[in-house]
Structure 1
Amino acid sequence: MAGAPLKLGSMVSFCIVLYAVYYRNRDGGDERLSPVHQQLLALERASVVGAGARQPRVALGYGACHDLFVNATQLLDARRLRHAPQHYNDISNKDQFLESFAYFFKHGAAAERFVSNSELYDDLIEQALKLPDSRWALGGNAPLMARRFHMEGWKVLLAAKMSKKLKTYIPEEISIVGGEANEEVKDDVHMILEYKADEKFGSLTAPRANRYIVHNDENNPLLSSLEKFGEYIPEFNPNLLVISGLQMMDNYPFKKDGRDLRAERLELVKQQIVSQPASTLTHFEMASYVDLELLLHLTTKVLPFVDSVGMNEQELSNLYRVLEFGQVSVVTDSNPRVAAALDQMRNTFQLIRNKNQQHGSNRRLTRMHVHTLAYQAILTVRGSNWKRTAAATAKASLTAHRYVCNSQNIALEKSKLLLDDSFSTTTDNDNTSRVFFEPTKPVSCWDELLDNEQVEICVAPVLICTEAQLTAGAGDNISAAGLVLQVEK
């Protein structure tokens, strides 16, 4: 009898291998692509966003910027890298800039850093503008998510101080609040250093396409649109409130006359969240944070009071370590196994639920969305106000490809799958938690019991774009696309 489970496991493994062989072309292609594509589209099309009187409404804060996109390896000279790659919480000189970029480049990890040296930052911008391929675009978590919601048929209220020029990047139908009438606004500029998979930087090779962002913001760290936003929200009466852009507060000099101005601003964010009626769902979009003090503020002033949290694999690991150990995680595996990500997702869900109780919140976390290069994972509590989890996971997956390839049409010749033919749902594997990936049913969903709640977890493969055109803003578009189908209309 002792040998029976082993034999069964061997037979299952053998069948998986045969199935995998069946779904591969002889020339190395992947025949799973077409059925996965068709079924993801079918799920997406099955749910349609309401229009007219039933048009859903979303309010998003805070901030906006002008993004300057540059080719990282054209701007930076690897020969000037004099020391080993390492990370810094903020950048004060050229050597730190090169070492910090190289550190994240070799890991293929997304990062966002504050440049405290304004003269250095202005010089970098000047150099970037000389490159033939540099280009300007709308930036900021809230504006990019706002534009995605608008594309999907939502009515949108956006909190941001923006110049007239930057507002031209925003569809006219989106209501923008945050500045005074005729106020002269100088847009904050973020520089997006992009690189492709397998690109070289000296002796280093990027394991995946990604971006490294630097900024020297003046408006965004202060959440300068916060108060004006609060005036407009009640009349707008949103179905969903999205909080984002708080990472701009990282390492900004907020201490003044013994006061912690950052804590004061975040307390106002908290009051804005808790003042919403129960009918308004609230979502917090994570980002690349490095300042432990700021992260600890988030665990007391934001996370206990939202219904939903969205993040990538780096941000998930960081949030989990802060909640569990009070430590910052600077970089992690850029393509984690499903089981590892789901374990961190479950643990983080329960840790935030504990925060709900500790802080006497009227809300309980009922949704988490983790987006990675290879797959999308969404967890929702059964019976909560979040609907259509499978369809939302499929839509997030399709949006990942469309955005990165910068095309609404999905070209299978520019696609690949990294998700294995089967995956375990936990690293505590007892041979009963393995899910078989079926190309004709690509979104896998199952129920679990977490924090005494019945939850549904859905995982969908991403048709990864092999010819990346855009990297910055992908997470914002993916998160917004996931939310689009989950709010009841």
Structure 2
Amino acid sequence: MAGAPVKLGSILSFCVVFYAIFYRKDNFEDGRLSPVKEHLLYLENENKVGSGTHQPKVALGYGACHDLFVNATSLLNPRDLKGAPEHFNEISSKDEFLKSFTYFFKHGAAAERFMSNSALYDELVEQSLKLPDTRWAIGGNAPLMANRFHLEGWKVLLGAKMSKKLKSYIPKDIEIVGDNGNEEVKDDIHMILEYRADEKFGEYKSPRANRYIMHNDENNPLLTSLEKLGEHLITFSPNLLVISGLQMMDNFPFKQGDKDLRAERLELVKEQILSQPVNTLAHFEMASYVDLELLLHLTTKVLPFVDSVGMNEQELSNLNSVLEYGKVMVVADSNPRVATALDQMRKTFQLIRQKNTDNGSKRKLTRIHVHTLAYQAILTVKGSHWKRTKAAAAKASLTAHRYVCNSKNIALDKCKLLLDDSFSTTTDDNNNSRVFFEATEPVACWDEVLDNDEVDICVAPVLICTEAQLTAGAGDNISAAGLVLQVEK
């Protein structure tokens, strides 16, 4: 019996140490949030643009839609899932839809797919409208980015064909071009199936909040606003041209005999970019693509002729895979290590720069912005037209929280950080470069040499919203917010 008190004492000691570790960790976490927030806000406030007589101008294309936001697990029944989750390039049946949704749900990965079965699509829309928490909003990369630029004080020209009802969602100060004015327009509808972090769907659990987008578009794949936007670009003379919405061409039936209508439309996109003076910066907003032929078109008709590319972690992995190996990567890590993302950014930068040379482009890629759940990473070439990289990363981070929480305020009780105390800048075992996270100076920036150019890389932590209200459109708002501070007026 003499050993009993010792054993009990050991257990108590262990419990005290265990509690102390977690108490210290909680205190450390809480202690980091406030200074991170304050410094991000400081960088944003000290670098405002878009006011007075120096109002910068942005033109955006192409397309718009009506977004129908649906609680995914309210609409879908996991008992209807027959077989294992599976990826499909396009959706033609209810079975394929369920398998495809579950495939991305279990990874917590964003996805966007075309449903070729119009009758089934209409049926799903009808079912969604019967759910109590379903809501409508304006959708499409270009309109969402346009709204963000407008909020930040920019003058905006939007290329999109939309009905009068859909136009009512757009601030009146935004100039919309894309139709003939009198024609009756039927808006495309996108279904946004949202789910929360740790939500369950049958035996599967999502590692993070995200969304699965499905569409059955008729207007957007044809880039019907392209020509109208081109007519207005001459007099508008933008500081920035944003190319987006090209993922709507994914798996759309463009072939007409030997004629490839998609290639023809993308050639016109290329000509539109080339029609702009070199001092009008061009940005391409990446998205979820699965059609390899379309992606290969992008690598010859769009990417060689833009100054900037924006994307999330899934899109980065996919673009890197297509450029390096000519293969589509359907799903990737939903929360990649900083080192992994930075290595992919560097490789993507170098591969697109080679495309610049191969295509004799007057433009060179000088900026990449990658937005992830945990951090923002922006790479810019020093001496290029892009300015204020550090502040841009901070603003993108703040916008991520505000948009997802659907609040202008940053409430610390709705924040968490996933970025570690330090991170490697590369996965290369021969390079031991590490950056240590400082809560009072949370945006880390450093110089490197890539492709014979000195580049500036900045990484900012995201104050992740723990009570997500919005998921679809987050990337568009984040990407636009990063651009807002980087264009020299």
TM-score, structure 1 as length reference: 0.95
Runs of 4+ in 1 over 4 A off after TM superposition: 20-29
User: Which residue does the alignment assign to 2:340?
Assistant: 340
Question: What is the CA distance between 1:52 and its match in structure 2?
Answer: 3.1
Structure 1 CA distance, aligned partners of 2:334 and 2:371?
A: 11
For residues 218-237 of structure 1, what are the structure 2 equivalents within 5 Å? Answer: 218-237=218-237
Question: What is the CA distance between 1:235 and its match in structure 2?
Answer: 0.2
User: Which residue does the alignment assign to 1:208?
Assistant: 208
1:260–1:431 CA distance, 2 compared to 1 (3 A): closer
Question: What is the CA distance between 1:26 and its match in structure 2?
Answer: 5.0
Structure 2 CA distance, aligned partners of 1:68 and 1:197?
A: 20
**Residue pair 1:282, 1:306 contacting (<8 A) in 2 also:** yes
Structure 2 CA distance, aligned partners of 1:259 and 1:169?
A: 37
User: Which residue does the alignment assign to 2:126?
Assistant: 126
User: Which residue does the alignment assign to 1:389?
Assistant: 389
User: Which residue does the alignment assign to 1:77?
Assistant: 77
Question: What is the CA distance between 1:279 and its match in structure 2?
Answer: 1.4
User: Which residue does the alignment assign to 1:41?
Assistant: 41
Count of residue correspondences: 470
User: Which residue does the alignment assign to 2:154?
Assistant: 154
User: Which residue does the alignment assign to 1:321?
Assistant: 321
User: Which residue does the alignment assign to 1:487?
Assistant: 487
**Residue pair 1:144, 1:476 contacting (<8 A) in 2 also:** yes
- Deviations, residues 95-154 of structure 1 (Å, cap 9, x unaligned): 000000000000000000000000010000000000000000010000000000000000
Question: What is the CA distance between 1:436 and its match in structure 2?
Answer: 0.3
1:365–1:399 CA distance, 2 compared to 1 (3 A): same
Structure 1 CA distance, aligned partners of 2:431 and 2:178?
A: 54
1:183–1:303 CA distance, 2 compared to 1 (3 A): same
- Deviations, residues 151-203 of structure 1 (Å, cap 9, x unaligned): 00000000000100000100000000000011100000000000000000000
- Deviations, residues 301-355 of structure 1 (Å, cap 9, x unaligned): 0000000000000000000000000000000000000000000000000000000
Question: What is the CA distance between 1:53 and its match in structure 2?
Answer: 2.4
1:162–1:24 CA distance, 2 compared to 1 (3 A): farther
Question: What is the CA distance between 1:29 and its match in structure 2?
Answer: 4.6
User: Which residue does the alignment assign to 1:297?
Assistant: 297
**Residue pair 1:24, 1:32 contacting (<8 A) in 2 also:** no
Counterpart residue type for residue 97 of structure 2: F
**Residue pair 1:378, 1:457 contacting (<8 A) in 2 also:** yes
**Residue pair 1:25, 1:31 contacting (<8 A) in 2 also:** no
Structure 1 CA distance, aligned partners of 2:24 and 2:195?
A: 30
Structure 2 CA distance, aligned partners of 1:459 and 1:23?
A: 28
Larger Rg: 2
**Residue pair 1:23, 1:31 contacting (<8 A) in 2 also:** no
For residues 274-313 of structure 1, what are the structure 2 equivalents within 5 Å? Answer: 274-313=274-313
**Residue pair 1:23, 1:30 contacting (<8 A) in 2 also:** no
State the SS of the aligned residue for 1:377. strand
Identity of aligned residues (%): 77
Structure 2 CA distance, aligned partners of 1:168 and 1:66?
A: 12
Question: What is the CA distance between 1:27 and its match in structure 2?
Answer: 6.2
User: Which residue does the alignment assign to 2:179?
Assistant: 179
Question: What is the CA distance between 1:258 and its match in structure 2?
Answer: 1.1
User: Which residue does the alignment assign to 2:272?
Assistant: 272
For residues 349-364 of structure 1, what are the structure 2 equivalents within 5 Å? Answer: 349-364=349-364
User: Which residue does the alignment assign to 1:198?
Assistant: 198
**Residue pair 1:90, 1:114 contacting (<8 A) in 2 also:** yes
1:26–1:248 CA distance, 2 compared to 1 (3 A): closer
Question: What is the CA distance between 1:22 and its match in structure 2?
Answer: 11
Provide the aligned C-alpha RMSD in A.
Answer: 1.3
Structure 1 CA distance, aligned partners of 2:77 and 2:22?
A: 46
State the SS of the aligned residue for 1:127. helix
Counterpart residue type for residue 107 of structure 1: H
Structure 1 residue runs without a partner (length 5+): 1-19
User: Which residue does the alignment assign to 1:88?
Assistant: 88
- Deviations, residues 382-427 of structure 1 (Å, cap 9, x unaligned): 0000000000000000000000000000000000000000000000
Structure 1 CA distance, aligned partners of 2:48 and 2:200?
A: 43
User: Which residue does the alignment assign to 1:9?
Assistant: none
**Residue pair 2:50, 2:152 contacting (<8 A) in 1 also:** no
- Deviations, residues 355-400 of structure 1 (Å, cap 9, x unaligned): 0000000000000000000000000000000000000000000000
User: Which residue does the alignment assign to 1:457?
Assistant: 457
State the SS of the aligned residue for 1:32. helix
Structure 1 CA distance, aligned partners of 2:416 and 2:109?
A: 20
**Residue pair 1:65, 1:187 contacting (<8 A) in 2 also:** yes
User: Which residue does the alignment assign to 1:145?
Assistant: 145
Counterpart residue type for residue 151 of structure 2: M
TM-score, structure 2 as length reference: 0.95
